[in-house]
Amino acid sequence: MAKPSFPTATTKEILERGDLLAPRFDAAGLIPAIATHAETGEVLMLAYMNAEALERTLATGEAHYFSRSRNELWHKGATSGQIQLVEEVRIDCDQDAILLKVTPEGDGGACHTGFRTCFYRVVENGKLKERLP
């Protein structure tokens, strides 16, 4: 498969108000992606995509990320069953962040710890407390 690539926006107007999908990957070739639950809106996780992961996500309708620890394409749920069916893909004003609305399959969660969201801890008085939203 040819290495996927995306165009570059040549003006601020095109970047911010145009219809051109021109994601700005960082020096490592990555862009952060927030996954929220399509039904509840809860923020489930933040991960990273490279161009291939974004292309795969758009082509298949299932969330793909790039695992920085394993240094490889990561089809979320392929081993855990927590496949994320992508209901909507958004991008922010300067196209350096992605927002997914997903329906998690499997146990309905997104976190390897067993919590449904990775954000299961609140900072209170400088300490962390486990508390689901």
Distance CA 43, CA 64 (A): 17
Q: What are residue 36's DSSP bridge partners? A: 43, 101
CB of 78 to a second copy, least distance (A): 19
Sites for a second copy among residues 51-90 (CB under 8 A):
58, 88-90
Distance CA 50, CA 27 (A): 11
When binding is defined by CB under 8 A, the residue of 73, 83, 85, 91 that contacts a second copy is 91
Q: In Å, how far are 31, 42, 52 from 1, measured between CA atoms?
A: 21, 35, 10
Number of C-beta neighbours around residue 15 at 10 A: 17
Backbone angles phi, psi at 93, to 5 degrees: -50, -50
CB of 123 to a second copy, least distance (A): 4
Sites for a second copy among residues 3-22 (CB under 8 A):
16-21
Tell whether residue 19 is among the known ligand binding residues: no
Residues placed in the known binding site for Zn(2+): 93, 111, 118
- The binding site for a second copy (CB under 8 A) comprises 16-21, 32, 34, 36, 41-43, 45-46, 58, 88-93, 97, 99, 111-113, 115, 118-123, 126-130, 133
